[in-house]
Amino acid sequence: MKKNKNRLFSALFDKYMERAELKNTELVGITGVEPETVSRWIQGYQIPIRDNLLKCIEPFGFPAQEDGLRECNEFFAEAGYSLTQEEKRKYFPRKTKYDWGTQRQAKFFVGRTETLEKLKKWVIEDKCGLVSIVGFGGVGKTSLSIELAGIGKTALSGQLAQDIGDNFDYVIWRSLSNAPPIEEILSDMIKFISEQQDVESSRHTIKKLLNYLKKYRCLLILDNVEDIFQSGKPADQYREKHKEYARLFEQLGEVPHQSCLLLNSRIVPPEIKDLNNHYAEVQLLRLEGLNEQEGQKLFNQINDHFAHSPEFDTQWKNIMENSKGNPFVLERFAASIKGTGNVSKFFHELSAESIKYTGNVSKFFNKLSLEAFLQKIFDNLSDTEQELVYWLSINREFVSQDELKNDLLFFNSKEQLNNTRCSSFL
C-alpha cells in the first residue's frame, strides 16, 4: 500500500532546497541519512525526525530574524513540530537594541539563581505584561530599617535584563528617582522604540506606547518607582502630577501586548496589588535578603581575608543576623572590616564603639547600617529637599511652615515651599 503524501511539506522542502541550491547528496552529508530517505522527504512520503529537521535549518538559509522565523515555524508546523524558545533564539537571534539610561552594569552579581529563574519564567514563558520587584511592603517611620533599601532590586533587574535581553527587540531602562513627569518617560520610550522616527512629544500618549508594545517585543524597566508616591500619605498614593503613571501600569497589566514592564519599587504599586489578583500576566516578587552562601560570596568579593580570619566562625553569624542578608549593608560591613586593615582591630573598635553608643554589638550594627542608609537617601534628595533637611535638623524641634520659609536661603521663591515635591523620606 502506498503511503499518504504530505504535499505541502514536500512543496516547502523542495522550495527551500532549490532556494539554497542544495543537492540531495549534500543533505545526506549534513543529516547522515540514506539517500533514499532524503528522496522520500522531498517527495513528502516521509517526515524527517525532529533532530534531522533541525539540521536542515542552517543549510536552508532562512532569512534572518522575524521573517525567517515565521517561515521556519510554518515549515516545522507542517511536519507536526514546533520550535522551542531556545531554538528560536539560537537560529533566529534578534538584534536587540538597548538603552540603559543612567543604569550602570554591576561589577559582579552573586546568587539569586532561583529568583532569576522565577522572573525569567514569568517574563519569557508566561509572557507577563507587568512584573514588579518590591523590596519592602510599607513606608513610614518604622520602615527606617535596613530592610527598606539596598535589598538588590536594581541589581537583580539589571542581571535579568542582561540575561533575557535578546528575547526582545528593544530593552529600555529608566529611573523614576526625581519623579520625572510621565510625558518625559513616554517620549523617551516612544522615540527609542520608533528609532527616532516618532519624535513629536506632544503626540506621545499611553495609547501610542501601547501600540508599539503590541507591534514589538520590548522590555521596559522602571527603577525607583517609589519616588512617584506622595510623602506623608498612605504609602500607595500617587503625587498629584503622577497619577497618569497609575493609568500606564493599569493599561499594561490589562490590555494584551507582547512586551513586559518591569517595576522596581520599595512600595507595592496599588495597581499591581489589584491586577495581581485578577490576571495571571501580572506578577509581584517580594525580594528578601541574600542567603548565607550568597551573602558570603558577596562579602568575599569585597573582603577576601575575613573568611580565613580566626574571628570568622564567631562573627559571621552575627554579621548575617544583623544585616538580614541585605546586600547594601553587607557591602558596607565588608568594606568597614577591610578598611581597618585587620579584623581583630575592627572588632575591637566595634565593641568599644558599641559599648559607647548602645551597649551591644547587634545594635551597633544596626546603627552603622542606618547611618549608611540615611546617607544614601540624603544623597538622592534634590537641592531644595537637602536644604529643608538642614533647616529641620538645625531647628531640632517642631517648626511651622512660616518659620521654615524664613530660614530658607536658597529658594528662588519661598512660595515653592507649598508646592515642593518632598521625598517620601521627609
- Residue 271 binds which one of ligand ATP, Mg ion, none, with CB within 5 to 8 A depending on kind? none
All 3 cell numbers of residue 97? Answer: 537594541
Q: Mask of contacts with Mg ion, 395-414, x by CB under 5 A?
A: --------------------
The alpha helices in 136-262, defined as continuous H runs, are 153-164, 182-193, 206-215, 243-254
Smaller CB distance to ligand ATP: residue 62 or 136?
136
Smallest gap from residue 348 Cβ to Mg ion (A): 34
Query: Interface with Mg ion includes 424 (CB under 5 A)?
Result: no
Nearest residue relative to ligand ATP (C-beta): 152
Parallel, antiparallel, or unpaired: how do β-strands 260-265 and 218-223 relate? parallel
Query: Interface with Mg ion includes 322 (CB under 5 A)?
Result: no
Cα separation, 395 vs 393, whole angstroms:
5
Query: Interface with Mg ion includes 157 (CB under 5 A)?
Result: no
Parallel, antiparallel, or unpaired: how do β-strands 170-175 and 218-223 relate? parallel
Nearest to 354 by CA among 322, 377, 331, 385: 322
Smallest gap from residue 364 Cβ to ligand ATP (A): 21
Nearest residue relative to Mg ion (C-beta): 154
Cα separation, 326 vs 291, whole angstroms:
9
Smaller CB distance to Mg ion: residue 213 or 272?
272
Helix count (H) and strand count (E) of the chain? 20, 6
Q: Which helix (H) or strand (E) holds 219?
A: strand 218-223
All 3 cell numbers of residue 114? Answer: 532561583
The answer to whether 343 and 308 are in contact (CB under 8 A) is no
Smaller CB distance to ligand ATP: residue 250 or 331?
331
- Residue 332 binds which one of Mg ion, ligand ATP, none, with CB within 5 to 8 A depending on kind? none
Q: Which backbone phi and psi does 97 adopt, to 5 degrees? A: -110, 135
Scanning 4-12, 148-156, 182-190, 384-392 for contacts with Mg ion by CB under 5 A, the matching segment is: 148-156
Smallest gap from residue 78 Cβ to Mg ion (A): 48
DSSP at 109:
-
Smallest gap from residue 422 Cβ to ligand ATP (A): 17
Smallest gap from residue 190 Cβ to Mg ion (A): 25
152 to each of 44, 109, 202, 266, 335, how far by Cα in Å? 55, 10, 36, 11, 18
DSSP at 147:
T
The one-letter amino acid code at 412 reads N
DSSP at 146:
T
Smallest gap from residue 253 Cβ to ligand ATP (A): 22
Cα separation, 113 vs 95, whole angstroms:
26
One of 154, 283, 296, 315 touching Mg ion (CB under 5 A) = 154
# chain residues binding Mg ion, by CB under 5 A? 1
The answer to whether 324 and 370 are in contact (CB under 8 A) is no
Query: Interface with Mg ion includes 167 (CB under 5 A)?
Result: no
Smallest gap from residue 220 Cβ to Mg ion (A): 16
- Residue 331 binds which one of Mg ion, ligand ATP, none, with CB within 5 to 8 A depending on kind? ligand ATP
Scanning 91-99, 104-112, 149-157, 253-261 for contacts with Mg ion by CB under 5 A, the matching segment is: 149-157
The residues that touch ligand ATP, with contacts defined as CB under 6 A, are: 106, 108-112, 135, 149-155, 224, 266, 298, 327-328, 331
- Residue 112 binds which one of ligand ATP, Mg ion, none, with CB within 5 to 8 A depending on kind? ligand ATP
- Residue 268 binds which one of ligand ATP, Mg ion, none, with CB within 5 to 8 A depending on kind? none
Nearest to 131 by CA among 104, 153, 109, 152: 153
Query: Interface with Mg ion includes 46 (CB under 5 A)?
Result: no
Residues within the interface to Mg ion (CB under 5 A): 154
